[in-house]
Structure formats: structure tokens, C-alpha cells
Structure 1
Amino acid sequence: MNRKRDVYYWQERSILKYLKKEWIEHAVFKINSNGIEGIGAGTPNADFGETYKTTMAIIEKMRKLTEEWEDLNNYADFEKVMSNIVKFDMSSKTAVEIAIADYILNSKNLDLSKILFSKKDLNEEMKKLYVYNDMGYAVYDELIDALMVKIEFIEKLSLEELEILKANIDKYKIWIDFKGIFNHYEVKKILDVFKGLDIMAIEQPLPIGSEFAVKDLLTKYPVFWDESFKTLQDIIRLKDISAGLVFEITKFGGLLKTSEYLKVAESLGLETMISSRIEHPITLDWTKKIKESFNYIDLNYEHYIEKTSK
């Protein structure tokens, strides 16, 4: 084997608060070449069938490729080869791609986030509120300094809990992420309960495959799609029933595909949001580097993280 550099990977965990689960696992990937390092991370997405084990198995394949690759500055060429190996596990691809972007920054002083992305004039930021049954009240104190709050359903709520939620968020602009877990009737009932709130947009109101049933809501609310949007083909499929699309760099395996898809969405006149699940701080930092390229920014969830460590 013609190994040109050293590559390492390991597990880290974020300890959580306010949520039903206590921690979340991350995969960290490090490149070391003549003392110059590049570090990336990826957090497996259970919604896409990823687990820590599947992510680490693919990262092992990427380790061998990364160690033998002639010149990591050939970023786009490496990404093409990696994409042929990584079919679906975008968390593993993100960890490796960010590590290479970080290595290029440290070795060449070239920040790929600035090269691949341009800034927009208007960006609206919001704070995340995960919504589930029997929520404690302490988390609402974290919202005091927010102007806009994105409520993201983890599970369905009773009518009584919806009323409690409404009473605690009625002072903010609201973005509602339904996560595709409700049917059309349930979405309309929730929106009826929330009547009177300043609702900025609704996100993924219906499950994947049921998107076109949203047409009666399009005249009342801007509709953004997240889980339904994974490929370029999805942009074309959803463009006529969308105000905009939700991006995550982990969803698309790093910076290159995110930049490519963003340009297509913008060419069709769609608005865009940059969002993130609870990710490793390395991934979140790179996401924040490109946040001003999007109309809406959903990256403020630090209040859910106690600490991240090995």
C-alpha cells in the first residue's frame, strides 16, 4: 500500500439536556500529512437509516482511499470517487469531506466555504424548540432572547399539550416543522389550534410521497420541504408546491453537493433555509461558515447540548 498520509477516526458523544434521549454519537475523522491536520465529523441520521456502526464501516473504506489519494487538493476529483463508494450514508461522506476542506484550509489557506458559497443580503435567524409530550418548562427560558422560534415536532401532541405550547410561544414569530409525521387532517387541526400566532412558514407538513396534497395550504402559508428534498430531481419535483427548500450539509455529504443544489434551487426562484440536526461542533462550525448564503438560518440549538467529548 502506498500510504501518503495518516488517517484516524474515533467516536465522540454529545451529552444532551431537555430532551428524552441522554446523548448522541458522532464519528470524527482526522487527516495528518507532514504535521498538517484536517478534522471533520458526521452524526448518523436515524431517519435515513444511518447508525454509528454503518457510518464507521464506510469511514473505514474512506480511510484507505484518503491515505492513498495522490493530492487531496484535487477536492472535486476526490469527491467524485468517494460518491461512488458512499451510496447512502451521507454522515460518513460529510466527515471525510469536511476533514479535507479543513486540511486544504490549513495547508493552502483556501477556505472552500468562501469559494463555493456567496452571501445573501437578508438572512433571518431562529432558535430551535424540539416539541414532544410532557415537555418541561425550563426549556422555554432558553427562548427569551429569540425573535423567531422554530418548533420541531419529535412526536405528536394532545390537544391539551398543543394549547400549553401555544401559550408559551405566542410572543414570537413561529416556524413550524411538522417533520412529515402528521396526515393532512392533523396538520390542519394543529394550524387551527395555532390560529393567531405569527406563523412565518410551515416545513415538511406531510409525509414523503404525499406532498401534492398540500395545495390547499399553499395560499395561506409559505411551505418548505426538508425530508422530501434529497436530490436534484426532488428540486424539480417540488418546485411548484414550494416556497423554499431546507438544506443541511450532512444531508448532502458536505460542501460540494450543498453548493450545487443551492445554485439550482436559487435559479428556480426558491427561497432556502440552512438547518442542522444536533451535530458535532465541527460540523456545526462549517455549517455556520456558509449560513449567510441562505434566506433563513436554523442553527441555534446549543441550549440542548450539555457538552461534547470523547
Structure 2
Amino acid sequence: MTADGSTCCSTPRRAIRASVPTLSARAESWPLAQAFVISRGSKTAAEVVVAEISDGRYRGRGEGAPYGRYGETARGVLHQIERVRDAVEAGVGRGDLQGLLPAGAARNAIDCALWDLEAKRAGVRAWELIGRSRLDPVKTCFTISLGGAEAMAEQARANARRPMLKVKIGSRDDLELVAAVRAAAPRARLILDANEALGFDDLVRLAPDFARLDIKLLEQPLPAGEDAALESYRSPVPLCADESLHTRAELDACARRYDLVNIKLDKAGGLTEALALAEDARRRGLGVMVGCMVATSLAMAPAMILAQGAEVADLDGPLLMKRDREPGLRITGSVLEPPAPELWG
């Protein structure tokens, strides 16, 4: 592993030719401060892929996090990036990229690298490209990993001063776990994330108690593709789609089943699609949550643009790291400051 966490490189760097873009990509592994546990399993490191596009004077970077739930691996993402090398080096734009790669980590990494490169070439910040004069700080949730009631309460107690905690659930003892976290962090706003682990009967049984415990939001209680039952269910706790939503193609179904949608750059395939997705979601009356995979500050920086005005931001990836990228985002407590140009955008 290199000093920046790099474990492999897809291709050697080519000789730089003035104004002709070159694309490179590499996989990196970043150790976590502690195991990150959800209903589907656990991880001890963030496995990411970084794409870089350079024209010899300016360099744009983007980070994607391959997610096994969607059949992604670092090797597969690097292969996808290699497939579009010629198009990117011929100068393909962000709009054209949408038709060259499916939504996922590969397209996200390239799309965000193109945003970064475009901003640096224009001499402006990335958010100015969409007409924003400034980027406001973002207040993020902090995730409490799934475990026993005592262990989760200890995590919550250590982070009780944070304004919002996101609690992973998906066990037979969910109510006990949530009650333990609530007791340990009585003033924090709590949201729950089931990661598809509940059945419909579980949801109906647990939701009134979750409401009693002042839960503000429940993410993806039912498996994606098996959530049609939500269309006839009025939940006492607002429901948010996560795994059920990737791009604008799923919005109609989500609007019938959920109150909010969790938009992630890796699911949407980049900031370009994510911004359009957020606009369409709001037009349908859906609230917007902006989430992330477990990744470094380089992945959170473009998501901060998406998070402007969102009802909930869950961009705590860097807070889960043993060490973050340098330079990384400046974070005070749970508040993420706008990225420096040296990081992104």
C-alpha cells in the first residue's frame, strides 16, 4: 500500500500532451476506525476507486465506492473505466458519459473527475458551474453500527452531542437496540436504517414504537423490489427509499411508496444525474436525503453540492476513517466545511 492508500493501478500514466486529456484509475483501501456493521455484513476498510483526468495543466479527480450489493467490485469498476478510456480521452462531456456507462461507481468517479477538471479549467468553483455563488457547510448524521444493545448504546453515548445519529437496525432485537440508543443519546435526532432487513409485518409491528421513541425517519425497511405493499400503508414514521432508488427511472414507484429518497452519487452514477434526480424528486413532492458509501473526503466533496437544501445529509464517511485523505474536508464536530480546491472542485 502506498502513502495515499493505493493498492493497485489499472494502467500506467501516459506521457502528458498539452491540452489532450489522459485518464488513469486506481483502487485504494482506507482502514476504518472500527468495523462498520449493517444487516448485510461488516467491513473494516473503505475500498474505493479514484479516476483522474489530466490535460497536462489541470487535473480532475473523482472517487467511487464499488458496492457488492449491486454486483460491483474494484476490479470490475476499473474494467468499466478502461472501456471508456478512448471516449474520455477524445474529450467526451458529462452529458455524453451518461450513455456510455450504467449508473454506478465507475460512472460516478469519471463524472466527478470531469466536474473537477471543468471547474479548474474555468477558474471557478464547481458549484458556480450550476449557478451557486457559494457552498454552505453541511451538517451530517453520524452512523451507529449494528451490534448488541450495550455496544450500540456505548457508541451512541460517545456521540450523544452530535445533532443527528443514524442507527443501523436489522436484528430480532431491533426495538431493544433502538431504545438503548435513545436512552444513551436522549437529545439527538435519530434516524433508522434497516438496509432492506425487515418484512412488512415487522414494519407494521415496530413502527408505532419507533414513533414513540421519536424516530424522525426510517430508511429502506423492505427489500428493494418487494416494497409495493408500502403503497397502501400509512407509516407513523416517515419512510425513505435507499436501495429502491438509483436514478430517475425509479422515481415514480418511489413517490407512491416513500416520503423521501436517499440520493447517493455512486447509485446515481455521478453528480450530473444526482442533481437532475434531486430536482425531479422535489417536483414530485418527495423529500431529499443525501447519502454516501463508506469513502473518503474526495467522495464527500461533490456530494456537498447535492446536499445544499436537503432535508437530511449523511456524509459521515471521513468520520469513520482511521485516517482520511490529505487534504481532506475540514470537519468540526458534525459540520463539513466546503472543500478546498486542492481536494476537489
Partner Cα separation in structure 2 for residue 117 and residue 275 of structure 1: 23
Whether the 8 Å CA contact 1:127–1:148 is kept in 2: the answer is yes
Shift of 1:260: 1.2
Query: Residue in 2 aligned with 1:15?
Result: 31
Distance 1:221 1:130, change over 3 A: same
Distance 1:105 1:187, change over 3 A: same
Task: Pick the structure with more helix per residue.
Answer: 1
Distance 1:227 1:114, change over 3 A: farther
Whether the 8 Å CA contact 2:247–2:274 is kept in 1: the answer is no
Cα displacement string for residues 132-165 of structure 1 (whole angstroms, at most 9, x for unaligned residues) = 2344665334423212222133x42536545534
Structure 1 gaps of 5+ residues are: none
Could you state the TM-score of these two structures normalised by the residue count of structure 1? 0.84
What is the aligned-residue RMSD (CA, Å)?
3.0
Shift of 1:103: 0.7
Cα displacement string for residues 14-41 of structure 1 (whole angstroms, at most 9, x for unaligned residues) = 2112324221211111122122111111
Query: Residue in 1 aligned with 2:276?
Result: 260
Whether the 8 Å CA contact 1:180–1:207 is kept in 2: the answer is yes
Partner Cα separation in structure 2 for residue 32 and residue 123 of structure 1: 29
Residue pairs, 1:17-96, within 5 angstroms: 17-19=33-35, 20-69=42-91, 75-76=93-94, 79-80=95-96, 82-88=97-103, 90-96=104-110
Query: Residue in 2 aligned with 1:185?
Result: 201
Secondary structure of residue in 2 paired with 1:245: strand
1:214 aligns with 2:230: yes
Shift of 1:284: 0.7
1:129 aligns with 2:149: no
Shift of 1:193: 5.0
Partner Cα separation in structure 1 for residue 292 and residue 201 of structure 2: 28
Query: Residue in 1 aligned with 2:266?
Result: 250
1:99 aligns with 2:98: no
Secondary structure of residue in 2 paired with 1:28: strand
Q: Which one-letter code corresponds to 1:83 in the other structure?
A: Q
Between 1 and 2, higher relative CO (CA 8 Å, sep ≥ 6) is seen in 1
Shift of 1:6: 2.6
Cα displacement string for residues 88-123 of structure 1 (whole angstroms, at most 9, x for unaligned residues) = 5x101111111111111111124443443769xx99
Structure 2 gaps of 5+ residues are: 1-16, 36-41, 327-345
Whether the 8 Å CA contact 1:162–1:193 is kept in 2: the answer is no
Query: Residue in 2 aligned with 1:296?
Result: 312
Distance 1:157 1:288, change over 3 A: farther
Q: Which one-letter code corresponds to 2:68 in the other structure?
A: A
Whether the 8 Å CA contact 1:123–1:294 is kept in 2: the answer is no
Whether the 8 Å CA contact 1:170–1:197 is kept in 2: the answer is no
Partner Cα separation in structure 2 for residue 117 and residue 298 of structure 1: 24
